[in-house]
């Protein structure tokens, strides 16, 4: 362990022109004579650590002389391998869901992408494929029980197991409680944001217990604070999701399965497209609401999801992670 720590420290201080592919196998070729050991995309069970960088240099001198790779972010040390893990991501066709799916693929997972928009899912699947990840597209409407069942059945048939379930799909809508369409809107939002999560979790539970996997639910700061009026249905669905997360975490704990939620504040996605030319105005308003004076992007949320789903978070269950750039702090919530 001491040697590992020393090596990691040294690698973190290397100039960007150097790239160490793998410190354990000490070779730039794998058993098939490939140019690299595949540590970045195909971590072995002993968790190879790879440092990725961009450089025209061919190698660095010394006992760790490795071939360079042009893949991956500059100076990135990957310690959250999901190699040989099977991950389901709902609502994977755009925004946060798409970013989560691609991040898992980048870390070697087999990814099951599900949503209703086939064309957008195909685009995200192609991005996953760029990392050599196995993936599967499932077109499903989460308000229909048989289609939720299809997600679990297809995943197990294709990949044989489920390691991580990311319940990301969600919808929103505005109405005051006294309006004529209030209950129709409430039923619609609850069907996707809460009922579908509970049902999919129930069906996936036996498989997650077998793998001692984990669940990450994408909630919202609306679960803990009512940000705007006319959002009673959405806020209620997310508050319910957080409480379901904690209840399920307690039930699953004895089985070795963890359950957590991520509660984002404003995240700049295509959700405001319906505003047309007013999108800029909307995002500027949201930015001013945060203490840090910034908005998150989907990749930031995906990074947090990967941490919570990884073995680095093995002691964390029943927790809700607020990531809102200090919006609740500024509101005094």
Active-site residue numbers?
234
H helices present in the chain, as ranges:
2-12, 95-106, 118-129, 145-159, 182-190, 196-211, 232-253, 279-288, 298-309, 327-331
**What is the Cα–Cα distance from 313 to 189, expressed in whole angstroms?**
31
CA distance 154 to 113: 11
d(C-alpha 236, C-alpha 38), whole Å: 46
Q: How does 138-165 read in b/e, with b if 16+ C-beta sit within 10 Å? A: bebebbeeebbeebbebbbeebeebbbb
- CA 258/CA 269 separation, integer angstroms: 28
């Amino acid at each position: 362990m001491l040697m590992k720590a020393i090596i990691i420290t040294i690698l973190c201080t290397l100039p960007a022109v150097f790239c160490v592919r793998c410190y354990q196998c000490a070779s730039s070729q794998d058993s098939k004579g490939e140019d690299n050991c595949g540590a970045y995309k195909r971590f072995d069970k002993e968790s190879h650590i790879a440092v990725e960088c961009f450089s025209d240099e061919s190698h660095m001198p010394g006992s760790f002389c490795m071939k360079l790779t042009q893949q991956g972010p500059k100076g990135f040390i990957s310690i959250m391998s999901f190699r040989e893990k099977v991950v389901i991501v709902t609502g994977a066709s755009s925004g946060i869901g798409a970013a989560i799916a691609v991040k898992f693929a980048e870390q070697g997972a087999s990814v099951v992408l599900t949503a209703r928009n086939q064309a957008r899912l195909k685009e995200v699947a192609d991005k996953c494929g760029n990392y050599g990840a196995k993936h599967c597209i499932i077109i499903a409407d989460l308000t229909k029980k048989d289609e939720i069942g299809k997600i679990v059945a297809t995943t197990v048939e294709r990949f044989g197991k489920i390691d991580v379930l990311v319940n990301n799909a969600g919808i929103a809508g505005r109405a005051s409680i006294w309006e004529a369409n209030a209950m129709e809107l409430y039923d619609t939002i609850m069907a996707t944001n809460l009922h579908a999560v509970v049902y999919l979790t129930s069906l996936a539970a036996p498989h997650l217990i077998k793998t001692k996997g984990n669940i990450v639910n994408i909630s919202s700061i609306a679960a803990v604070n009512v940000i705007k009026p006319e959002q009673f249905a959405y806020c209620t669905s997310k508050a319910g999701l957080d409480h379901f997360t904690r209840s399920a975490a307690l039930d699953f704990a004895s089985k070795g399965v963890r359950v957590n939620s991520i509660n984002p504040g404003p995240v700049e996605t295509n959700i405001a497209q319906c505003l047309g030319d007013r999108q800029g105005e909307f995002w500027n308003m949201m930015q001013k609401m945060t203490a840090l004076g910034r908005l998150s992007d989907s990749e930031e949320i995906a990074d947090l999801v990967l941490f919570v789903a990884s073995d680095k978070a093995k002691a964390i269950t029943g927790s809700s992670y607020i990531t809102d750039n200090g919006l609740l702090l500024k509101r005094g919530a």
